[in-house]
Structure 1
Amino acid sequence: MPGRGLVLDPFPGSGPHGGDERPVRRGRIVDPESCGRVLGRIADAALGPDRSDSVIVLSHPVLAGAEHRSAARALLAGLGTTRVVVLSSARAAAAYAGPRETGPLLVVDMGAELTEVTLLVNGLVADARQAESGLDDLDRLDPAKLPAVLVRTVLDMITSMWRHDRHGAIRGALRKGPVLAGGGALRPDVTDRIARCLGTRVRLADDPSTTVVRGAGQILSSVLRHRTASSERSGRPW
């Protein structure tokens, strides 16, 4: 929360990635009951008991299936909030990179358990690729090999998208420079190699590991401002 930082650690005493008890794996809810308890604790700490006017933004992996999005919606509905805004993590990252961003944009999200490359055109997902591997998997490698493996995964996905791009959107996005997010974007040995292999600059947020959640927060702020303005015009409470 602005000014407060991390409101609640849902996995106190666990390792940096939550250990075996983590109820979300590879961007999917694998333990709904445990996930519901975690969300309840977060809602109690951040929203309090009265949630009648609250709004939650849910970001999900770009290629998350409908069943996974539905499972998340069902859990959030149980919190008693008024509205849930659902969007992909790539759109959230793009919002943080620049809310006025138009035209093609390439978002590369290198997370703990997933690596995603998404092509957005005017804010809409035009193409996407996903690898079910991330930094947690690569941590088992020789540290000297990690940058090369992660960069090769990213480049293979971009190359595949380039081959299927009939309108030059990928080329236009690369000219502007891809937005890099996730923990992998904190590693200069990874980001420098991506820039060098693509022959273009790359764009990093202040804290790439929180780009998605910060972008989701910006979208939430926009939704709340719109609701306030609509309420003032109508003279009705939310």
Structure 2
Amino acid sequence: MSTADRRRSSRAGFAPLGRDLAVDLGTATTQVHVRGRGTVLDEPTLVAVDTRSGRLVAAGAGAHEMLGRTPEHVLTLRPLTDGVITDSEVTEQLLRHFIARVRPSRLMRPRTVVCVPSVVTAVERRALEDAAIRCGARRVYVLEEAMAAAIGAGLPVESATASMVVDMGGGSTDVAVISLGGVVNARSLRVGGDEVDEAVVAGVKADHDLLLGERSAEAIKTQVGSVWPLAEELITRVRGRDLSTGLPRTVELGSEEVRRMIEPVTAQVVEVVRSVLDICPPELAGDLLDSGIVLTGGGALLRGWTGRLRHELGVPVRLADDPQHAVIRGAGICIDDLGALQRLLAGAPRP
């Protein structure tokens, strides 16, 4: 390729395969898409840090295996809360660890798309941009998670017909109505799968005088959790520490009991979806009676969400294909064709 050809390719947004990245740094999981290679990393947003030296002991799946099992001087923690960075230093260590695993070359600084909740403050957004730049990004583009989820779910985001997406993550729930390539209405609720786990822990403690760990609560949610009555209710056995004796004890939990425990959390999600519909322009609201609501995110896998929202709101509701990867899939589409989709990104890129 001649020098002139290379310049023309550069102006057209060309970049070597494997150079550019899309990152969905979520409260529960971090996913990375490499241009031309697809999603190459999907691991828990979790680190294990040696408190004596500040050294990163493990990250991602390795840190998750250590959860609740570490010695006193090793702390496992999540550097994000409710979808935003709470510990910038640890977040940077985590990002460096993940990006080093997927970058084919340290000599090329990638352009990077990062996903943020739809309602994020300027300070929170800048913290994420700064972390990406310090980890070697040449230029950082910000994409709202709801828009990324809609693109990843295959919705016609550039059409005049309205699309509505509800992205249920670990730390936040993003709801947006999208039309003509932009977000018409959006709300972000800082409640997600983590709050469901906390509600299970609190409910089992109150009802059974049993203390559960984080991993046990997550397992209960996966095995019997639901937000709407099931055709056949489920039962699981869970082991924890008896608060009165201090000894291990096993109890049985049914899906109906767990549903009651998590109802205060799930009711908040229903209300934020309702509030977005309430302020939707009449023309777009009419579109949604036909196109309905699409659910994305790992939280959407909790049983019964389509039935619950359909009953509460009176509009069609469906689950996206592979909902837990919809956001990174949408961000990956943007980084694969950055020139064509640049107008969907939120604001000017940080150099």
TM value normalised by structure 1? 0.81
Alignment-mate amino acid for residue 269 of structure 2: V
CA pair 4-200 structure 1, distance change in 2 beyond 3 A:
closer
Q: Comparing 130-139 with 154-163, which one deviates more in the overlay?
A: 154-163
| Aligned alpha-carbon RMSD (Å) | 2.8
* C-alpha contact (below 8 Å) 1:106/1:174 kept by paired residues: no
* C-alpha contact (below 8 Å) 1:104/1:120 kept by paired residues: yes
Structure 2 unaligned segments of length 5 or more: list them: 1-32, 45-58, 69-75, 201-256, 343-351
> Within 5 A, what are the aligned runs for 1:18-97?
20-47=76-103, 48-52=105-109, 54-97=110-153
Give the one of 267, 275, 284 matched to 1:152. Answer: 267
Structure 2 residue 180 is the aligned partner of structure 1 residue 131: no
Structure 1 unaligned segments of length 5 or more: list them: 228-238
Structure 2 residue 119 is the aligned partner of structure 1 residue 119: no
Q: C-alpha separation between the residues in 1 aligned to 2:277 and 2:42?
A: 41
Deviation string 1:5-40 (CA, Å, 9 cap, x unpaired) is 437663243338x88511111111111111111111
Q: Comparing 74-83 with 28-37, which one deviates more in the overlay?
A: 74-83
Deviation at 1:144, TM superposition (A): 2.1
* C-alpha contact (below 8 Å) 2:162/2:179 kept by paired residues: yes
Q: Comparing 151-160 with 54-63, which one deviates more in the overlay?
A: 151-160
Specify which structure has the higher proportion of helix: 1
Deviation at 1:211, TM superposition (A): 1.0
Q: Comparing 101-110 with 144-153, which one deviates more in the overlay?
A: 144-153
TM value normalised by structure 2? 0.57
- State the identity %: 30
Alignment-mate amino acid for residue 49 of structure 1: R
Number of aligned positions between the proteins = 225
Q: C-alpha separation between the residues in 1 aligned to 2:341 and 2:313?
A: 39
> Within 5 A, what are the aligned runs for 1:213-224?
213-223=328-338
Deviation at 1:93, TM superposition (A): 0.6
SS at match of 1:196: helix
* C-alpha contact (below 8 Å) 2:171/2:190 kept by paired residues: yes
Larger Cα-atom Rg: 2
Where does residue 235 of structure 1 map in the other structure?
A: none
SS at match of 1:165: coil
Give the one of 268, 273, 297 matched to 1:182. Answer: 297
Deviation at 1:122, TM superposition (A): 1.7
